[in-house]
Chains A and B, each alone.
Chain A
Amino acid sequence: MKRKRNILIWAGFVTVLAAFASYIPLFASFPATRDFPWANYLLFLIGGALLAAGVRRAFHDSAQYRGKISGSILSALSALLLAFFVLGVTYFSKQIPPARGALRVGQKAPAFMLPDSAGKQVSSSDLLQNHRGLVLIFYRGYW
C-alpha cells in the first residue's frame, strides 16, 4: 500500500520558516511585536507543534504515513532556526557598548553644525532659536 504524504511535517516546517523570516520585514516594524518578538515565538510554537505531530505519526503510524527521514531532517533544521533566532534577539542585537559615557538629563547639550542630506549646514543653535525643543535621534546608519 502506498503511504500518504505527511503534510503536517511540511506545514510545520513552512510555519517555522515564516517565524524565522518574518521578523525583520514585518514584525520589527511595530513596537508591540518588535521589543519582545512574541508573534515570532508564537509562530515557532505552532510550527513546532505541527512538526511534532507529523513526526509522531511518521514513527507511530509508519504503515500509513511517510516522513521519518524528512521529519527528522526538518525538525533539526527548525531547531537550528529557532536557536539562531533566539541568539539574534537576545545576544546579537545587544552587541552595542554600554551608554555609561552618554550625556545625562540635566546636562548641557553640545552645540553642533552638521550638513543635512542636501549638504546644507544645519546648526543646533538656529534650530533651538526657532523651536521649543529638539529631538535628536542618533542612529547607526548604513556607512
Chain B
Amino acid sequence: MRGFEQHLNEFHQRGIEVVAVSVDSPGESQKLCQSQGYTFPLLSDAKAETIRQYGVLHANGAGAGKDIARPAEFLVDAAGTIRWENLTDDIRVRARPQSALMAVDRL
C-alpha cells in the first residue's frame, strides 16, 4: 500500500481512484492513515461482505473465528469490469504499482 501511496499522483492523473478495503473499523483505519500517511480512502468492510463477494476472504485469518481479507489487488474499469488483478500467495509479496499502472494504460 505504501507503493500505491507513493504513486498515487500517477493514478489520479490517469483518472483512476485508489481505495483499500479491510475489516478494520473506521477508527482503526484513521489510525493507520495517520501512522502511515495514506491519503487514499481506507474503507471498512467490518462484516467482510465485499471481501467475500470478491472471493478474497481469509476465513479465521485473525484467529478466534474472525475473518479478514487476504491480500489482493483489482483494477475495475468505468463499466464495472475487472481488467487486472494480482492474487499473491505470499503476504510479503504485493503488487507493484507499476504493473497496475501498465494495466491502466491498456484500458
Contacts and interface: CB of A to CB of B under 8 A. Distances in A.
B53 to A, nearest CB: 4
Interface residues of A, number: 51
Interface in A80-134: 89, 93-99, 101-112, 114-119, 122, 124-125, 127-134
Interface string B26-51: 11111111000000011111000111
A132 B74 CA distance: 14
Q: Is the interface of A mostly helix, strand, loop or mixed?
A: loop
A93 B91 CA distance: 5
Given A119-B26, A132-B77, 15 more contacts: A31-B3, A35-B92, A99-B55, A105-B82, A108-B82, A115-B43, A116-B29, A116-B41, A118-B26, A118-B30, A124-B76, A133-B83, A134-B76, A135-B100, A137-B72
Interface of A: 28-29, 31, 34-35, 89, 93-99, 101-112, 114-119, 122, 124-125, 127-143
